[in-house]
Amino acid sequence: MQVGVIGTGSIASWFIQAARLVEDVEFVAVYSRAQATGDKFAQDNRIDKVYTDLEKMLKDNDVEAVYIASPNSLHFDHAKLALEHNKHVLIEKPFTGNFDRAKELVALAQSKSLFLFETICNIHMPHMDYIKNRIQELGQLRMIQCNYSQYSSRYDALLSGKTPNVFNPKMSGGALMDLNIYNLHFTMYLFGKPESIHYFANQHENGIDTSGILILDYGEFKATLTGAKDSASYNVGQIQGETGHITIPNGVNGLETVILTTDDTKKEVVEQDKPRLYYQVAVFKDMVDNNDFELRDFYLEHSLNVVEVATEALRQIGLEFEY
C-alpha cells in the first residue's frame, strides 16, 4: 500500500515511523503548502515526492491511500477531496468536529466502495482486547474514570494574546478534541453510546475549552472523562466494578500497562511490543487487503458515534465547529 501524506507536523512523522513496521506499507509523497517545509519533511522521513498542489498529489497514480494529519478543521475538506479522487483515507483523530460533516464523509466512502478510517490508536491495541475479554470479571460496573491532561506548549502563547490552532475555535481545537477524545473513544468502544452526557469545561475568553470533564451516564454506571491542556496531572484510566477493577497507569491514550485486580487476583499485563501507532495501521492494511467492508463500517459507526457525542458536548458549552 503506497501512501501520500497531508500534513508535516510531529504526529505525521511518528505515524510514518510506526506504519513502516507494517509489511508492504510505503510512503511515496507528501503535500505541504510550503515547498521548503515539504522538502525538509520529505528528507527527514525518506519520502521521494513533494507536492505543493494537493490536486496533483491526489492525481498521482502511485498514491493509493492518503493519511491526513492536517489541522482539525481541514480534515473534512482534505478527506472529501481524497475520496473524490478515489483514494482510501486515514484521518488523524478527531475524525471531524461536526457530526453532519462526518456523516457526509462516511456516505461518500461507502458510495465509492473506498476505505475511510480514523487513526485513533488506543482502540486497536492488544491491551484493549485484553480489557474487553476480562471486564466481566469486575462484576456489576459502577464507575469509569479517565484522565489525560498535559500542559500544552502553546498555552502560554494563548495567555499572551495569541491564538494557536489548537486553541482556536475556527480550527476545531480545544481539550476535548485533542486529548479527551482518547478517553471518549476508549469508553465508547467498550460500552457504546451513553444514555446522556454533560460537559463541564473551563473556557478561554474566545470560547475554546482549555480543560473539561465529560460525564457519560450509562444507567447503572457512570464515566467521568477528564482532559486538560491548561494543567498537568498523573494520567490514568480506571474501570470499577463490584468485584474488581482495572487500572491503566499513564492513561488510556497509550494503554501501556493493564492491571486487573479482583478479590483473589492481581495481574499486571504488558503485552504490546510495537509502537502505539503501529496497530491501527496494521488493522487498516489488513482491512484493505481483504476488502473487509463489514469491518470498515463497524469502525466508521464507532467514529460517528464518538463525533455525535463530542458535537453535543461542545454544543453544551456554546461551541459549534463548522468542520
Tell me the pLDDT band of 16, cut-offs 50, 70 and 90. very high
Please list, in sequence order, all residues whose beta carbon lies within 8 angstroms of the beta carbon of residue 207, skipping any fewer than 6 positions away: 169, 317, 318, 319
Write the DSSP assignment of 6-39 as a string of letters: E--SHHHHHHHHHHTTSTT-EEEEEE-SSHHHHH
Which residue is associated with the grid cell 446522556? 196
Residue 246 has pLDDT above 90, yes or no: yes
Claim to verify: residue 170 and residue 231 sit in the same structural domain: yes
Count of other CB atoms within 10 angstroms of residue 286: 12
The three three-digit cell numbers of residue 57, written as one number: 498529489
Q: Give the structural domain span for 59.
A: 2-113
Q: Is residue 29 part of a domain?
A: yes
Q: What is the mean pLDDT of residues 218-245?
A: 98
Q: Is residue 188 part of a domain?
A: yes
Q: Is residue 300 part of a domain?
A: no
Over residues 164-187, the pLDDT tens digits come to: 999 999 999 999 999 999 999 999
Q: Is residue 180 part of a domain?
A: yes
Claim to verify: residue 71 and residue 161 sit in the same structural domain: no
Claim to verify: residue 189 and residue 104 sit in the same structural domain: no
**How many separate domains does the chain show?**
2
Claim to verify: residue 105 and residue 24 sit in the same structural domain: yes
Claim to verify: residue 201 and residue 64 sit in the same structural domain: no
Q: What is the mean pLDDT of residues 218-237?
A: 98
Claim to verify: residue 134 and residue 257 sit in the same structural domain: yes
Please list, in sequence order, all residues whose beta carbon lies within 8 angstroms of the beta carbon of residue 247, skipping any fewer than 6 positions away: 236, 237, 238, 258, 259, 261
Write the DSSP assignment of 183-243 as a string of letters: HHHHHHHHH-S-SEEEEEEEE-TTS-EEEEEEEEE-SS-EEEEEEESSS----EEEEEETT
Tell me the pLDDT band of 264, cut-offs 50, 70 and 90. confident
CATH number at residue 42: 3.40.50.720
Claim to verify: residue 72 and residue 147 sit in the same structural domain: no
Over residues 82-139, the pLDDT tens digits come to: 999 999 999 999 999 999 999 999 999 999 999 999 999 999 999 999 999 999 999 9
Find out whether the peptide bond into 169 is cis, omega within 30 degrees of 0. no
Q: Which helix (H) or strand (E) holds 282?
A: helix 278-289
Looking at the chain, the whole-number percentage of residues with pLDDT higher than 70 is 100
Claim to verify: residue 145 and residue 190 sit in the same structural domain: yes
Over residues 154-164, the pLDDT tens digits come to: 999 999 999 99
Tell me the pLDDT band of 272, cut-offs 50, 70 and 90. very high
Claim to verify: residue 255 and residue 131 sit in the same structural domain: yes
- What does pLDDT average to over the chain? 97
Claim to verify: residue 147 and residue 63 sit in the same structural domain: no
Q: Is residue 19 part of a domain?
A: yes
DSSP type of residue 118: E
Claim to verify: residue 177 and residue 259 sit in the same structural domain: yes
Q: What are phi and psi of 78, to 5 degrees?
A: -65, -40
CATH number at residue 250: 3.30.360.10
Count of other CB atoms within 10 angstroms of residue 163: 17
Claim to verify: residue 80 and residue 185 sit in the same structural domain: no
